[in-house]
Amino acid sequence: MLKRLRSLFRVLKSRSGFEQGMTEEIRFHIEQYTDDLVRSGVSTQEAARRARIEFGGLNRVQEDCREARGLRTFDELRRQLRHAGRLLRKSPGFTATALLTLAVCLGANLTMFAVIDSILLRPLPFPEAGRLVTVFNSYPKASVDRDGSSVTNYYERRGKIPALASLSIYRNGTAVVGDPGSTEREPSAKVSPEFFATLETGPAVGRAFTEAETSFQTDRVVILTDPYWRQHFNADTGVIGRQIRVDGIPNTVVGVLPPDFRFLSSKARLYFPFSSSLEDRGPRQRHSGGNYKHLIARLKPGATLDQAQAQIDAQNAALEMDDSRAKMLADAGFRSVVAPLQADHVASIRPTLLWMQAGALTLLLIGAVNLTNLLLIRANSRLKEMAVRQALGASRWHVVSEVVVETTLLTLTGGLLGLAIGAVVVRLLRLMGADRLPLGSYIAVDGRMACAAVLGSVVLGVAIAIPIAWFNLRGPCANAIQSETRGGTSSRAAQGLRHGFIVAQIALALVLLAGAGLLGLSLEKVMAVSPGFRPDHVLTGQISVPWNKYPNWTSRLTFNARLMESVTRQPGVSAAAIVNNVPLSGNSGKSAATVKGYVRRPGETLRAHYSYGVDGDYFTAMGFSLREGRFLTAADSRRPERVCVVDEDFARYYWPGVNAIGKQLNPGGDAAVDAELFTVVGIVGAVKQSALTDQIAQGAVYYPYALRRDDNLFVVVRASLPPESLGPVLQRLIREIDPELPVNDLRSMDTRIADSLVTRRSPALLAAIFSGIALLLTAVGTYGVLSYAVAQRRREIGVRMALGAQPSQIRAQFLALALRLLSAGTGLGILGAWFIGKAMQTLLFQVPALHIATLTAAATVTGIITLVACLLPSHRAAQISPMEALAEP
Amino acid sequence: MGKTADLLPGTLDMLILKAVSLKPLHGYGVLLRIQQISGDALEIPQGSLYPALYRLEHQELIAAEWGVSDNNRRAKYYTLTPAGRHRLREETAGWNRLASAITSALNATPEEV
């Protein structure tokens, strides 16, 4: 097979050379034979005649030779391609419509394919990535579904779980890198020594971290990513052993990662050792994952996920035997979950992406149906030609292959145009925030997308050809030839097929429109949700205050006080605060709190609450509402009295109907001595913490700043100026206090809220675009089919009008046909929309599956557009002049 | 010229391979060589010679190259490829088995039955 293809390819490379050679070779043969005959005594003329006769029919021999080289099919294909090309050029209007339809529909699908391929399908860029898993702790009954893993988990599990070949812990963070005055906040990650070995992708230059580098005293080493190395060290391989300042302290470069290294969606440009103290690794810290430390592991070859899960379950059970908190953990439904790394990483976005692809496929279906209808109409006008050709001996194979070649030529051209559209749209996706999706920054136009384009186009071409070929073949030859020259009414079956397609189109467009409506409605509902604070005029930015430079609370509080003072002195600034986290930042952490004197009801578990450490006028700056008592102020962080503020959900849960002011609580899961308790001094309104769609009243506690050990802090500023304009000012003020501290992630709270909606806004927008196109296609399709019906029946209409039918009767007849199709389509569409609404429930927010208003609106829009598309042909039918129609040849 | 026999179906390819195996030949040369080595007993239909040559070239059993003929004209010369040599051996062995089987069958006498 390969040999023959190779040989065919050689010939095709120089087709004219082949023909020439063949002619020359045969001429040589005949001349040689003639010469031999002459030599044996035959006359020259007679010799030439005999040579030709004995050789046989020249054309026949040449055709046999071509077939012997496998050229016949190819020649046939070329002929048919030329024929198809001529046909398409002959009707530019039809060709343009078809190509545009295909380009748009295939473009939409190819774009979605590129997204799904990069996010869901393509394996992570590591050897045998299918064996990579993640392990996280889950406390579902305490409404914490996911809490990362603790350092203790890592040390207790590594080397102890037989199904795992290697296990590693990491956390993402930010490092302040560079010399004083030119520091930058660089995204970074801290990883345990076997991190790169687990991924089986190690530093290209230098080495990975060692076990000795995991203590706070010995961890001054760094591994650079390739982009950082190129940017800052000009790709110098002598970089190993050089030093860079990180958080004000020199770190030694020990390795550089390969160019294509990328770990999930991490933007880390520098890797540091994950250091911990012996205390961090002890059993008391076993459950302090906090959802920012994560485990990854590689299954041993042959080991399964279930084995790893069973072994970890067994280990957890054994460890709980002598854990004083065993009862509490059991109440919280504690379990460590092993999940495939990639699937787990993209799980949140998976259903949305699949629905979007389904939408794109529906669009393609509508487009394909449209095209099939247009082609059927054309085939009908060529019915006689087909019948004559078949009667004259054209084989069925020939008729079919001709149709397939024509449709495939169309779809391939459309597919290439679609690929171009897709390439543009993929770039536009970034503007829609696609790079904030998991793995979303790796969406790219590449060979796989091109392959999908070609493959998809060919499949589509063949699929569209099937009904056309069927129609061409079944056209009863004799009837078609005999039927009246001017064309009577078209065959019932063909008409039924066309009308069925119109009904399907209307139904599909309606489903798409209703789906888009539901998504839009949910987006509107989400956007109407009040976040619980006033997000306007608030600027937020992140800074890292390193512990090695500000080692105690006094120095840290002094830094905070100086910063807030200089910020509030700026014109227009009304309040400033420093806080360890802000709502909707995407990294909200929950932790337990124990309320003094509260006895849990039987079966009730320990609850996790959002907890914050605040300094300055946080509540004023963020625009919280005060329910009772007072806000925390900067002074609360600088006084020995332990006070806190809780939100109304928290107060309502623990002290229903009782004034919460003056009550006491303790952070963490254990009871504490009275002196360590925090007294509630204020109750604030609840805010949306992790997303605007938060449904559970989880409760939140706000402690004075000095309670939490975070390096990473948010600066919050409320000003009467546009918040973004304050960014440079804030940067300058921070540098004035400490030239080594950069600020980044400067965004207004309004922007943060908008960004948190990216997975709702983009699908709603895409669905709206899809359904707009679908409506347009349906209108074009309906118009085309009805116009054709009118043109077909010109004579009939002419006769009827000559016999006294009124134009209004004719118009009504066609409108009635349109209405019949429309009502069938709408009926089916409503059924479909209901079904889709039910299936889409997980994507929707406070919208029922059968939303009458949306459905009615969608049906009305579809109906109006379809009817408008029908009006013109119906009107034209009524305008037919009987004289002209009957006089036509 | 003695009495000539028609070719058995499927034997033309084998004869072409044999002819070419002796020496590189152009198409007309193949025709002459087959007549020569068969003692002028076989008549090759000229029209089917070229399709057969092209088919064998397509299967890479023979290779073609342009050269110069004895009378200084450009001609296409065919040579046997290693695959062609292998095929020729197989076909020859197969033919011999068939021929001896048929011969022994035709030589059967009533006594042997």
Give this complex's ipTM.
Answer: 0.87
- Chain B residues whose CB is inside 8 A of the A56 CB are 45-47
CB-closest option in A4, A29, A64 to B58: A4
Q: Write the CB contacts of A177 (distance below 8 Å, at least 6 apart in sequence).
A: A183, A184, A185, A186, A244, A245, A246, A270
All residues of chain B having their beta carbon less than 8 Å from the beta carbon of residue A29 are 27-28, 31, 46, 50
pLDDT attached to residue A480: 52
Do A674 and A725 touch, CB atoms closer than 8 A? no
Residue of B nearest to A1 (CA): B59
Q: Which residue of A has its CA nearest to B63?
A: A7
* The predicted structure's pLDDT at residue A750: 92
**How does pLDDT run across A848-874, given as a tens digit for each residue?**
888 889 999 999 999 999 999 888 888
Q: Which amino acid is at A589?
A: G
In Å, how far is B17's CA from the nearest CA of chain A?
16
Q: What is the DSSP string of A396-447?
A: HHHHHHHHHHHHHHHHHHHHHHHHHHHHHHHHHHHHTTGGGSTTGGG----H
Chain B contact set for A32 (CB, 8 A): 28, 69
Instruction: Compute the CA torsion angle A467, A469, A470, A474 (nearest 10 deg).
Output: 140
Residue B34 belongs to some domain of the structure: yes
- Mean pLDDT over A518-526 rounds to 92
Which tokens hold the place of A332? Answer: 């919280």
What is the per-residue pLDDT for A484? 46
Query: From the list B28, B55, B59, which residue is nearest A29 (CB)?
Result: B28
Query: Given CB atoms, is B72 within the 8 Å cutoff of chain A?
Result: no
Q: Is B5 a domain residue? A: no
Give the mutation candidate from B46, B48, B66, B68 for the A interface (greatest A CB count, under 10 A).
B46
**C-alpha span between A754 and A756 (Å, rounded):** 5
Chain B interface test: which of A35, A40, A65 (most B C-beta within 10 Å):
A65
Residue B2 lies in a domain: no
Answer yes or no: do B47 and A61 touch at CB < 8 A: yes
pLDDT confidence band for A748 (50 / 70 / 90): very high
Q: Which residues of B touch A8 (CB under 8 A)?
A: 58
Amino acid at A760: R
CA distance A540 to A746: 6
Is position B89 within any domain?
yes
- CB-based contact A4 B45, cutoff 8 Å: no
Dist CA A657 CA A28 (whole Å): 112
| Contact between residue A252 and residue A222 where contact means Cβ atoms under 8 Å apart | yes
> Does residue A715 contact residue A541 with C-beta atoms inside 8 Å?
yes
Cβ atoms of A526 and A584 closer than 8 Å: no
pTM here?
0.79
**Beta-strand relationship, A249-256 and A221-224:** parallel
Contact state of A69 with B28 under an 8 Å Cβ cutoff = no
Nearest to B54 among A24, A55, A65 (CB): A65
Asked if residues A163 and A307 have their Cβ atoms less than 8 Å apart, the reply is yes
Contact A68 B58 (CB under 8 A): yes
| Beta-carbon separation of B47 and A8 below 8 A | no
Q: Is B50 in the A-facing interface, judged by CB distances under 8 Å?
A: yes
Inspect the interface and report whether the beta carbons of A69 and B57 lie closer than 8 Å: yes
**Residue for token digits 């209108």?**
A779
In a domain, B93, yes or no: yes
pLDDT in tens, A161-214: 999 999 999 998 888 898 877 888 889 999 999 999 999 998 999 999 999 999
pLDDT category, A491, cuts 50, 70, 90?
Answer: low
Half-sphere exposure of A180 (CA within 13 A, CB side): 7
| pLDDT at residue A478, as a whole number | 47
| pLDDT computed for residue A739 by the predictor | 84
- Rounded to a whole number of angstroms, the distance from the CA of B111 to the nearest CA of chain A is 48
Of A241-250, A314-323, A468-477, B99-108, the poorest mean pLDDT is in A468-477
* Distance separating alpha carbons of residues A644 and A677, to the nearest angstrom: 10
Does residue B4 lie in a domain region?
Answer: no
Q: Count how many domains chain B has.
A: 1
Q: Which DSSP category does A348 fall into?
A: T
With a cut of 60, say whether residue A844 has pLDDT above it.
yes
Cβ contact A61–B73 (<8 Å): no
For residue B57, tell me if it sits in a domain: yes
Question: Which site among A29, A64, A67 would you substitute to test the B interface, given the most B Cβ atoms closer than 10 Å to its Cβ?
Answer: A29
Check residue B42 and report its DSSP letter: B
Residue B17, pLDDT > 80, answer: yes
What CATH number does the domain containing B74 carry? 1.10.10.10
CB contact under 8 A, A25 and B73: no
For the segment A285-299, the average pLDDT, to the nearest whole number, is 87
- DSSP assigned state of A595: E
Residue B45 structural domain:
11-106
